[in-house]
């Protein structure tokens, strides 16, 4: 039972991995991406590619689509603090246009790429979806605003939607992996040090109230994350057998689920794992805390497990790092590719 899906941001890290999974499951996929931070060559073979902004979704969508998976967004926390308007304009403005285009075309299913940054500094961990939402930066605030916008659209116009709140996405899926420019995420940076492309990794703060003083994060394999997106769509369409839906997420409902492993690893543990996996020395230098970094972010993914039937299977940090290392060595590092 194959479907037809629009993937916004399908030339980016998570979007390309999800698009590849959809194609492998036999669905047809159109990728809409303006290539502002994505890469044309990251769009999986077999997907139709339309170069354009989310605001152009109306030109693509028609009633033949079964649903939309919406990834296209700016996602740098630091940049969002420097240039908040960029985040409101693109992340919030783009999503308003997308919801309007979906309504117009009669496309009534949406999976939205939300984030743990909607919670801000957590009062307790693991974080459940009913935790207080107090984002500490415009990136998280813009994603939370879109979550509210989606809830309203569901109630008013019968949309069915699932927002997936990612914790720290990591790892790679074959030739689909993480390559931001400039890179700000911990694992790809540490791998660049292992590769010899950077001299050392700066450890941002070692006096946090955590076991070794460095920040703790919940790293989730991008392929496990991708599988949750297919399950979310199945919960809305009913899938092949109807076993898991559409009861879970009928029209008019908005389900919000965290996606993480429920295990936290410190910055030091990540660096140590990279040393073990790559066999390379990784020099580290102490650095001041990075503004806006919570001490520990660990997910409770009980809801995704119970409501979507999700079973993350790549929860070992060494395996996550190994897949990212494989991608880093094969597909990054040459001029113009990273």
Return the residue of 4, 185, 198, 275 that touches ligand UFG, per CB under 6 A. 185
- Decide whether 101 or 190 has the Cβ nearer to ligand UFG: 190
d(CA 90, CA 264): 31
Report whether 42 contacts 55 (CB < 8 A): no
Q: Is 115 in the site for ligand UFG (CB under 6 A)?
A: yes
Return the residue of 61, 267, 282, 324 that touches ligand UFG, per CB under 6 A. 267
Q: Is 18 in the site for ligand UFG (CB under 6 A)?
A: no
Return the residue of 28, 128, 136, 202 that touches ligand UFG, per CB under 6 A. 202
Q: Which of residues 210-249 bind ligand UFG (CB under 6 A)?
A: 215, 217
Query: 186-209 burial, b if ≥16 CB within 10 A, otherwise e?
Result: bbbbbbbbbeeebeebebbbbebe
- State CA 251 to chain mean position distance: 24
Q: Is 338 in the site for ligand UFG (CB under 6 A)?
A: no
d(CA 50, CA 64): 17
Neighbours of 149 (CB within 10 A): 16
Q: How many residues does the chain have?
A: 338
Q: Is 290 in the site for ligand UFG (CB under 6 A)?
A: yes
Q: Read out DSSP for 17-54?
A: HHHHHHHHTT-EEEEEE--SSS-GGGSPTTSEEEE--G
* Residue whose CB is nearest to ligand UFG in the complex, by number: 215
Return the residue of 201, 231, 301, 317 that touches ligand UFG, per CB under 6 A. 201
The CB-of-186 to ligand UFG minimum distance in angstroms stands at 4
Stretch that binds ligand UFG, among 88-96, 122-130, 184-192, 310-318 (CB under 6 A): 184-192
Question: Is 139 a known active-site residue?
Answer: yes
Q: What is the CA radius of gyration of the chain?
A: 19
Q: Is 186 in the site for ligand UFG (CB under 6 A)?
A: yes
- Decide whether 107 or 282 has the Cβ nearer to ligand UFG: 282
Alpha-carbon dihedral angle through residues 250, 129, 187, 309, given to the nearest 10 degrees: -40
Q: Which of residues 123-152 bind ligand UFG (CB under 6 A)?
A: 139-140
- Decide whether 293 or 302 has the Cβ nearer to ligand UFG: 293
- State CA 41 to chain mean position distance: 19
Query: CB within 8 A of 153, min separation 6: which ones?
Result: 99, 103, 159, 161
Report whether 261 contacts 312 (CB < 8 A): yes
- Which residue in the list 65, 119, 139, 219 is annotated as catalytic? 139
Stretch that binds ligand UFG, among 16-24, 46-54, 112-120, 305-313 (CB under 6 A): 112-120
Residue 277 parent element (H or E): helix 267-278
Bridging pattern class, strands 265-266 and 216-217: antiparallel
Stretch that binds ligand UFG, among 144-152, 185-193, 235-243, 325-333 (CB under 6 A): 185-193
For residues 46 to 85, the per-residue mask of contacts with ligand UFG, x marking binding by CB under 6 A and - elsewhere, is -----------------------------x-x--------
Return the residue of 30, 113, 114, 168 that touches ligand UFG, per CB under 6 A. 168
- Decide whether 280 or 290 has the Cβ nearer to ligand UFG: 290
List residues with catalytic annotation: 139
Binding site for ligand UFG (CB under 6 A): 75, 77, 115-117, 139-140, 167-168, 184-186, 189, 201-204, 215, 217, 267, 290, 293
């Amino acid at each position: 039972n194959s479907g037809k899906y629009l993937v916004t941001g399908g030339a980016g890290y998570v979007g390309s991995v999800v698009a590849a999974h959809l194609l492998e499951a036999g669905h047809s996929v159109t990728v809409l991406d303006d290539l502002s931070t994505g890469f044309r060559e990251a769009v999986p073979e077999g997907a139709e590619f339309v170069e354009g902004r989310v605001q152009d979704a109306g030109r693509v969508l028609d009633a033949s689509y079964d649903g939309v998976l919406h990834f296209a967004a700016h996602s740098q926390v630091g940049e969002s603090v420097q240039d908040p308007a960029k985040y409101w304009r693109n992340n919030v403005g783009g999503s308003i246009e997308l919801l309007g285009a979906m309504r117009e075309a009669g496309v009534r299913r949406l999976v939205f790429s939300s984030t743990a940054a909607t919670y801000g500094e957590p009062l307790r961990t693991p974080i459940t979806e009913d935790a207080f939402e107090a984002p500490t930066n415009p990136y998280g605030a813009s994603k939370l605003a879109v979550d509210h916008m989606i809830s309203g659209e569901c109630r008013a116009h019968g949309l069915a939607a699932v927002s997936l709140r990612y914790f720290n996405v990591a790892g790679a899926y074959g030739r689909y992996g993480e390559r931001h420019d400039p890179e700000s995420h911990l694992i790809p940076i540490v791998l660049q040090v292992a590769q010899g492309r950077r001299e050392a990794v700066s450890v941002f703060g070692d006096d946090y109230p955590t076991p070794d003083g460095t920040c703790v994060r919940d790293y989730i394999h991008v392929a496990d994350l991708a599988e949750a997106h297919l399950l979310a769509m199945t919960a809305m369409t009913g899938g092949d057998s109807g076993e898991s839906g559409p009861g879970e997420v009928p029209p008019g409902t908005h389900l919000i689920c965290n996606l993480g492993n429920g295990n936290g690893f410190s910055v030091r543990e990540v660096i140590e794992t990279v040393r073990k996996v790559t066999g390379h020395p990784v020099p580290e230098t102490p650095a001041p805390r990075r503004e806006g970094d919570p001490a520990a972010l660990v997910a409770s993914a009980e809801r995704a497990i119970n409501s979507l039937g999700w079973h993350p299977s790549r929860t070992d940090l060494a395996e996550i790092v190994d897949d990212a290392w494989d991608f880093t060595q094969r597909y990054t590092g040459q001029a113009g590719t990273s």
